[in-house]
Amino acid sequence: MARSPRRTTAAQPQKRGFGLNTLIFLVIAIVFLAIVTFPLWRTIIIANDPVNVAFPNLTDAERETLRQFPADTLQMLLNIAATDNERATDMAFLIQQTVTASENFNPGNLRPQRQGQFVVQDAIHRAEGSAMIYELGGNSRILRLENFTTPPAPLNRDPAANIPGGAAELRLLFSTETTFTIEGANLGDTLEVGVLKANDGNLNYTLNANPARFKSLVIYSAKYGVVISYAVLN
């Protein structure tokens, strides 16, 4: 029986894979390129970072602190910066500062004649704690802010020392009104108590006039005409 002729096939070329050496070479090349071009893309990132754009007068450390703020607080500061950069910069700097006061007061058996709680209006215009008026006898009265805090209390900053300083910009006012807008506040008739001494702690103010006809205590930014917070006194 005759045998069938044996078929032969041409040798197929071997497929070469993406070798490990090639991969390592590409990784090294990419890292090298990133290092060489770092100044260029760093400049682009910095130039387009909204915090850097909005607050060029803050230090790198202050801007980094801002980036750690709650998103709503940071966005509100950026919104203010879009129309009033000076105000936003003041607030962005000072919101990072805590000025604490622990002024003692022992009312004994006295109960406050009037009191109220500060309100939170939004992420920036806010305060917490109690406002209480004590009558000590005769014509002597004390306004007590207790467990008080207001994150963005803009005490005037001293740019040279880069710390809050000078006369305090926020002021305490008694007002005949009980509702307020943040911008262009409707303050009604007012009686000034004094400057806000701190943005954290317990504060005492001696009252030189009877505030009986006033209905609220207002934390007011005289520089920008803004109500930070208020407490309706009952």
pLDDT of residue 114: 96
Dihedral angle of Cα 90, 92, 97, 100, to the nearest 10 degrees: 70
pLDDT of residue 84: 86
Phi, psi at residue 27, to the nearest 5°? -60, -45
CATH topology for 100-232 is Immunoglobulin-like (2.60.40)
Return d(Cα 211, Cα 41) in angstroms, integer. 60
pLDDT of residue 96: 65
What letter represents residue 52's amino acid? N
On whether the CB atoms of residues 132 and 233 are closer than 8 A, the answer is: no
Per-residue pLDDT of the chain (234 residues; tens, 9 = 90+): 555 555 555 555 555 555 777 778 788 878 777 676 655 544 444 446 888 888 888 888 888 888 888 888 888 889 988 888 888 887 777 666 677 888 999 888 889 999 999 999 988 889 999 999 999 887 889 999 999 998 654 444 444 444 444 434 788 999 999 999 988 678 999 999 998 888 889 999 999 899 999 999 999 987 788 899 999 999
Return d(Cα 125, Cα 224) in angstroms, integer. 13
pLDDT of residue 12: 55
Indicate where the chain has its CATH 2.60.40 domain(s): 100-232
pTM of the model: 0.68
